[in-house]
Amino acid sequence: MLERLPYEAMILDLDGVLTDTRSLHFKAWQQTYQKFIDHEDSLANFSEKDYQRYVDGKPREEGIKSFLQSRGLSFSTEKIQEIGTEKNLIYQNLLHMEGPNVFTDALEAIEHWRSLGISIAVISSSQNCKLILREAGIADLFDACVDGEEGKILAMKGKPEPDYFLEAAKRIGKKPDECAIVEDSISGIMAGRKAHFKGVIGVSRKGQTPAENLYSCGADTVVSSLLEIGQVPNALVAWEDFKSRIGERDLALFIDFDGTLADIVSEPKNARIKESVRQTLEKCSKALKMAVISGRDRLDVKKLVGIDSLFYAGCHGFDMSGPGCFHYQVDEAQKILPQLEEATLATASALAGVKGIIIERKRYTTAVHYRMVTDTDESYIKDKVYRILDGFPRLKAKEGKKVIELFPDLDWDKGKATRKLCEILDVNPTQTVAIYIGDDLTDEDAFTELRGKGIGIKVDVTGTRPTKADYLLKDPGEVERFLNLLAFSYTGEEKRWRVGL
């Protein structure tokens, strides 16, 4: 379990997240509607799907109305109250006989979060929430509790409206963009997304709402245990979870070159990709919307990959090309190139005596590679580069793996380049999932851009570096295995997306 989480507060639903009373609620609803079969045959066969779609996560009477409407029925307020009262009596009896079962992973996770100083709140549309917490002996674990009784008093709307979550955040003194919500229901995920909570985390244990359904309605991630929250899973190990995120949608693949498709080498000019990787890329490029986004010059990376049927974005996206004579460049950057040239000459002069330094001038950027220098010289190099940059106000620097790159100081990075490529390729998140695979700090901008809209995969041999990515891969070898899975699973039909470009 991670020692740090990017949230100041966790707001947890009760049923299905903390306690296993969800099954008791389902039984109670089944038994309740069974009593009305003599009067309305259409109420028979209340199913798990009905529970997920119409009832789960909603205040009792709202759930009744929603289910009745699905059967084309409209009962009086008195009748709805009668059904609700009957359901509650059955539920309380089941609760008394079977007792609330608390998930052990939830208790361990809450204990860990509290040790990190994270505030914890619980919400439930159930009017039995406080009773359940007391019966389970966990009422003292929470900084706030918002339940169905208070929902009535405060006239709060139930899920998929976010009223309960917002009230809980208010009571612990936090804003939505500081909190994560943890939900097992479709309506709860929709509520968290609607209120723009920082994290919208789905829970899909055995027998609960499938992960694919939670992803499709807006979950950032889906876990089977609360102990998984904050961990970044390996994309190969979590292949089934990855497929759940995709669902029935198409794919668009954006991928970095150095450290992702090819191993990092001491001298950039010696980088190569394996022929087996090239063949897999070519197969993917015929069926998927696809681009290679690299810090290298566009023509350089295109030559190294050697496939004409995909898009290339060089210099971190300042310069793009694609099939059909497509070309795009950031025009404003060209006005800054004279300063970049001058700064490059000054840097080369200042570092001329450093053994092992490589200064790589590219069309829109300059990379200062120091992979082959001593540890002492690293500090000297960084100090010199940043001092030189002080004299060039239209330039900025970004650090990567043993490299500092000089850029035009514009609001442009791999994230913006990914967004532009999504526009060019008509990547609509409702129909197509954008996937970005990269290994460096500059790739974090793309992971951030796709957060909640696509999927980020970080290539990291240690698996310990902070990242905005959704999954990890260890090295280019695992990237190749992952690409082979993509090619096998998602390239059955050649697309004609390139026509007209």
Q: Are residues 426 and 294 in the same domain?
A: yes
User: Which of 451, 457, 454 has the alpha carbon at shortest distance from 197?
Assistant: 451
Q: Are residues 391 and 277 in the same domain?
A: no
Q: Is the pLDDT of residue 2 over 70?
A: no
Q: Check which CATH number belongs to the domain holding 223 and give it.
A: 3.40.50.1000
Q: Are residues 319 and 427 in the same domain?
A: yes
Last residue in a domain, options 408, 432, 451:
408
Number of domains in the chain: 4
In a domain, 286, yes or no: yes
DSSP class of 230: T
Q: Are residues 298 and 446 in the same domain?
A: yes
For 342-479, strand residue ranges (E) read: 358-361, 366-369, 395-400, 403-408, 432-438, 455-459, 471-473
- In whole angstroms, give the CA distance from residue 235 to residue 438: 13
DSSP-based three-state secondary structure for 255: strand
pLDDT at 499: 35
Q: Are residues 297 and 435 in the same domain?
A: yes
Q: Are residues 153 and 226 in the same domain?
A: yes
pTM: 0.77
**Over the stretch 125-166, which tens digit does the pLDDT of each residue have?**
888 888 889 888 899 999 999 999 999 899 999 899 999 999
Q: How many CA atoms lie within 13 A of 218 on its CB side?
A: 21
**Over the stretch 62-78, which tens digit does the pLDDT of each residue have?**
888 888 888 888 888 88
In a domain, 275, yes or no: yes
Instruction: Band the pLDDT of 496: cuts 50, 70, 90.
Output: very low
pLDDT at 37: 60
Q: Are residues 280 and 418 in the same domain?
A: yes
Q: Are residues 223 and 140 in the same domain?
A: yes
pLDDT at 316: 94
Cβ within 8 Å of residue 85, ≥6 positions away: none
In a domain, 365, yes or no: yes
Q: Are residues 227 and 299 in the same domain?
A: no
pLDDT at 501: 38
Q: Are residues 273 and 421 in the same domain?
A: yes
In a domain, 3, yes or no: no
Cα 361 from chain centroid (whole Å): 35
- In whole angstroms, give the CA distance from residue 296 to residue 274: 18
- In whole angstroms, give the CA distance from residue 160 to residue 359: 55
pLDDT at 139: 92
Q: What is the dihedral of CA 288, 294, 296, 299, to 10 degrees?
A: 20
Last residue in a domain, options 367, 389, 408:
408
Q: What's the domain range around 79?
A: 22-98
Q: Check which CATH number belongs to the domain holding 35 and give it.
A: 1.10.150
pLDDT at 493: 59
pLDDT at 346: 95
- In whole angstroms, give the CA distance from residue 184 to residue 176: 19
**Over the stretch 240-256, which tens digit does the pLDDT of each residue have?**
999 999 999 999 999 99
Q: Is the pLDDT of residue 497 over 50?
A: no
In a domain, 237, yes or no: no
High-pLDDT (> 90) share of the chain, %: 64
Last residue in a domain, options 76, 98, 120:
98
Q: Is 56 a catalytic residue?
A: no
pLDDT at 67: 87
In a domain, 401, yes or no: yes
pLDDT averaged over the chain?
Answer: 90
In a domain, 74, yes or no: yes
Q: Are residues 219 and 115 in the same domain?
A: yes
In a domain, 261, yes or no: yes
Q: Are residues 211 and 92 in the same domain?
A: no
Q: Check which CATH number belongs to the domain holding 340 and give it.
A: 3.30.70.1020
Annotated catalytic residue: which of 50, 163, 220, 256? 256
For 230-340, strand residue ranges (E) read: 250-255, 289-293, 311-314, 319-322, 326-329
Specify whether the CB–CB gap between 498 and 309 falls below 8 A.
yes
SS (H, E, C) 63-127: HHHHHHHHCCCCCCHHHHHHHHHHHHHHHHHHHHHHCCCECHHHHHHHHHHHHCCCEEEEECCCC
